[in-house]
Amino acid sequence: MHIKTLSLFIALASTALQAQAMDDRLYVAPSVNYTFADNDRNADDGWGAGVALGKPVTPHWNMELSLSGSALNHQSASGDYRLQGLGVDALYLLKRDVDFTPYGVLGLGILRTDTLGKADTGAMANAGLGIMKRLSDNIALRADARYRWDGNSTNTFNKSSFGDVIVSLGLNIALGEKARPVPKPMPEPVAQPEPEIAPPPKPAPMAAPVPAPEPVIVQPAPVVPLTTKQATQLDQAKSGDVVTILEGVNFEFDSDRLRPDARVILDEASTVLERRSDISVDVAGHTCSIGTEQYNQGLSERRAKSVYDYFVNKGIAADRLTTQGFGETRPAFSNATREGRAKNRRVELHVK
């Protein structure tokens, strides 16, 4: 039994933990495999192949119908084992719709064995661990190691069962186009009641003249210190400067809806724009490269418009503000890393 090989795959999968609508398309999974045969089989290790048809059924579980085959040469007799399996497997993915995730697998099925002039079909079961790496929206690379229990239906060598270790490498190929998230509908406007018109007040009686009051010296209101670095940078900016006012984490996921921490930043930025009437800004939205160019372009425009609307609602004159979205076309950092993609999801203020 090649337990060391299985232990190595378990260790690799257990160290691969990593950090968004569920992709529930059907997929096919062709693969090649290598069987480390049970020592009791008296057979050499050998190559094989397989294919599976699968479908995600919950945010963590996939179900697969699998077909596999392999041939193992006998060590003490002429001929070989021919093993053909048909089974149902359940895959548990630690994370779905991410670039890299480990998974576990459990399966039951039947195994047809043809060896030494005997052929029969019996029960089999398997369990193992694997890893999956997404290559594109439609294709993922997968590798796993499984322990397979074989009920030895042909009673070869008078053994009640065999246990093999099978290592597989293959692809998940999704069928059809990936569904895109549907934007949330805008809430229906709430009808406001007509204001009641109060009757005109009665004329007040003539009052005796009041002596002129003493002149009052009005002290200027104290300047409230700024607490966010974005507002501080905007307060010190001049024409031509660019201030990154918000990042992707300041919006709800895949949305133009502002999070509470974003409102704190924009409140201080509004204070700066009120005080600095000598500048105007162009609000520019950007995204990372995940998703289609068309979708990212629309998301960047909506996020820039959210910041524009927030400023206008805070009393900033609309003729001091413009908006535009650049989608994924102007990355400030590399999209090859998670940190770079996070920094590319941003809203900038171009000072004019």
Instruction: Give me the helices (H) in the chain, please.
Output: 3-14, 229-236, 260-275, 293-313, 338-344
Residue 76 pLDDT exceeds 80: no
105, 128 in Cβ contact below 8 A? yes
Looking at per-residue pLDDT, the higher value among 44 and 184 belongs to 44
Residue 71 within a domain: yes
Q: Which of 109, 141, 174 is a domain's end point? A: 174
Using CA atoms, how far apart are residues 344 and 123, in angstroms rounded to an integer?
53
Residue 181 within a domain: no
**Same-domain status, 74 and 160:** yes
CA-based nearest residue to 327, from 283, 271, 285, 272: 285
Would you tell me how many other CB atoms lie within 10 Å of the CB of residue 15? 9
The CATH number linked to 74 is: 2.40.160.20
Per-residue confidence at 222, pLDDT binned at 50, 70, 90? low
**Same-domain status, 240 and 330:** yes
Sheet holding 281-286, edge to edge: 242-247, 346-351, 281-286, 321-325
Residue 236 within a domain: yes
The CATH number linked to 345 is: 3.30.1330.60
Residue 199 within a domain: no
How many helical (H) and strand (E) elements, i.e. helices and strands, does the chain have? 5, 12
Query: In a 3-state reduction of DSSP, which class is residue 151?
Result: coil
Percent of the chain surpassing pLDDT 70: 89
Beta-bridge partners for 81: 72
> How many domains does the chain divide into?
2
Mean pLDDT of all residues belonging to the chain: 85
Q: Output the pLDDT for position 16.
A: 41
35, 5 in Cβ contact below 8 A? no
Amino acid at 85: G
Q: Which of 174, 191, 213 is a domain's end point? A: 174
- By DSSP bridging, strand 139-150 and strand 118-134 are antiparallel
Domain span at 244: 229-351
* Structure token pair of residue 96: 């779905």
Percent of the chain surpassing pLDDT 90: 49
Residue 215 pLDDT exceeds 80: no
**Same-domain status, 156 and 267:** no
Measured in degrees and rounded to the nearest 5, phi and psi for residue 272 equal: -65, -45
Q: Output the pLDDT for position 329.
A: 93
**Same-domain status, 152 and 19:** yes
Note the pLDDT tens digit of each residue in 269-303. 999 999 999 999 999 999 999 889 999 999 999 99
> Average of pLDDT values for 148-173?
88
Q: Which of 133, 151, 174 is a domain's end point? A: 174
